[in-house]
Amino acid sequence: MSSNYQHGHDAEEFAVKYLEKNGYRTLEINWKTRWCEIDIITSKDNCIFFIEVKYRRSSNNGTGLDYITPKKLKQMTFAAEMWIASHNWHGEYQLAAIEVGGNDFTVSNFVTDIS
């Protein structure tokens, strides 16, 4: 049986493929520092997207997007600002989330601006 970590990793890989099929260019996957992390960083139309991937096998206990709390948004903002500073980015950026669900890793929602 696969672990939750493996399911999360598989969902992230599926999300990357989905994003690339929809015109996003992958810049980083699982970007980490000792203080923060970002699941996927992509670009499209001169905008950088910092994407949180939320996987749920079922929505019985809420959707993946339900788990993006104000605390999580604060963490995402901090991580995005760290990446921006370390890459000297001066353009547009957005926090985004992609929800992947089920045993077949279906994208059920993609929100390009969750800030």
Indicate the pTM of the whole model.
0.87
Q: What does the pLDDT read at residue 5?
A: 58
CATH architecture of 4-111: 3-Layer(aba) Sandwich (3.40)
The domain locations on the chain are 4-111
Strand order through the sheet with 92-101? 25-32, 37-44, 47-56, 92-101, 106-111
pLDDT digit of tens for each residue in the chain (115 aa)?
455 556 667 888 889 999 999 999 999 999 999 999 999 999 999 999 999 998 866 565 656 677 788 999 999 999 999 999 999 999 999 999 999 877 777 888 888 888 7
Percent of the chain with pLDDT over 90: 58
- Please report, in angstroms and rounded to a whole number, the separation of the first and last CA atoms in the chain: 36
CB 110 within 8 A of CB 95: no
In 3D space, the residue among 111, 87, 106 whose CA is nearest the CA of residue 10 turns out to be: 106
Burial of 2 (0-12, 13-18, 19+ CB in 10 A): exposed
Q: What does the pLDDT read at residue 91?
A: 95
